[in-house]
């Protein structure tokens, strides 16, 4: 009799007990790999065999810096079976839960991830285009999409044709606007980049002229072929490095005539001693080639529990 009455008693004490038990049953383990490219860190989920659907809430939980399993990250990278001629489709989420088109350092991390499985060369499909990659176990080179400069490609709603000199803030030099699979604003300064991304990044990302937002890059010369870069990433905020930002900055420097076409070195903000290891090497030849090469660090493999997306 007690067993028969138990559900009724539970309903009186805890009216939503069925929902509670059901939600417990809907959690399942997700395996992931933690990696970083120059400190720009990622949770990589290989969903090529076991389909994984992430919601914005899932992403924000996984990316939170107080998450004891993942230890937080800048982006979540989910690998799916290819949709076309590539080897894998790379789905990219920023830490705020938004899905985005491109992530240069993330692409390098995935290339190294696949190289560890035996694919030293691969083609990554992204929402921003195809990326051809070559990787070892600790370094990767990516052929990026050629840059686009028109207002519709960026996109930018400002009433001007010249996207090479767009005023986003009265206190700052004009920005060079470019799309490298995702939108970027590059602002060259002469007094050093320290603190500028933190001060202006969020405001400029959400400029009225940028309907889809943009990554905001502050760059300064650090040598004949060297640029120092500080980036505010759209949907992620301040990061230790930004691969597409490095590419956009190299493109802007060449297109503006500040540097010659060819190999350029981009130093992230933490590389204060000017070492040649913690850098991104960007090669840009207008109309022909845009490539990025740099180190990748494997951190750890782990599992976390994820609540199933509602069906």
- By annotation, the residues acting in catalysis are 103, 242
Separation CA 286–CA 230 (nearest Å): 24
Cis peptide leading into 270, omega within 30 of 0? no
Distance from the first to the final alpha carbon of the chain: 36
Alpha helices (H) in the chain, listed in sequence order: 2-13, 17-25, 56-63, 104-115, 196-205, 243-255
Separation CA 39–CA 74 (nearest Å): 10
Stretch (H or E) spanning 141 = strand 139-143
List own/partner pairs for 261-264 with CB under 8 A and 24 or more apart.
261/285, 261/286, 262/225, 263/225, 264/225, 264/226, 264/227
């Amino acid at each position: 009799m007690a067993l028969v009455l138990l559900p009724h008693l539970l309903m009186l004490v805890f009216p939503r007990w069925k929902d509670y038990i059901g939600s417990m049953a809907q959690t399942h383990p997700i395996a992931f790999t933690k990696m970083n490219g120059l400190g720009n860190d990622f949770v990589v989920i290989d969903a090529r065999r076991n389909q994984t659907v992430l919601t914005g809430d899932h992403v924000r939980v996984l990316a939170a810096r107080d998450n004891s399993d993942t230890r937080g990250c800048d982006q979540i990278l989910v690998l799916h079976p290819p949709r076309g001629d590539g080897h894998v489709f790379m789905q990219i989420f920023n830490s705020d839960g938004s899905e985005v088109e491109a992530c240069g350092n993330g692409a390098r991390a995935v290339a190294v991830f696949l190289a560890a499985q035996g694919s030293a060369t691969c083609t990554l499909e992204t929402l921003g285009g195809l990326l051809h990659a070559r990787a070892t176990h600790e370094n990767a080179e990516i052929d990026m999409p050629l840059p686009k400069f028109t207002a519709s490609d960026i996109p930018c709603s400002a009433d001007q044709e010249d996207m090479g000199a767009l005023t986003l803030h009265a206190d700052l030099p004009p920005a060079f606007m470019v799309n490298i699979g995702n939108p970027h604003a590059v602002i060259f300064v002469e007094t050093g980049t320290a603190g500028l991304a933190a001060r202006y990044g969020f405001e400029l990302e959400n400029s009225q002229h940028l309907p889809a937002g943009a990554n905001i890059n502050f760059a300064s010369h650090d040598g004949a072929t060297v640029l120092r870069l500080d980036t505010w990433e759209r949907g992620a905020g301040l990061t230790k490095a930004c691969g597409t930002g490095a590419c956009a900055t190299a493109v802007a420097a060449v297109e503006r005539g500040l540097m010659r076409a060819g190999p350029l070195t981009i130093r992230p903000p933490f590389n204060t001693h000017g070492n040649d290891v913690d850098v991104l090497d960007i090669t840009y030849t207008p109309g022909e080639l845009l490539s990025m090469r740099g180190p990748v660090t494997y951190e750890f493999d782990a599992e976390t529990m994820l609540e199933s997306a509602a069906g």
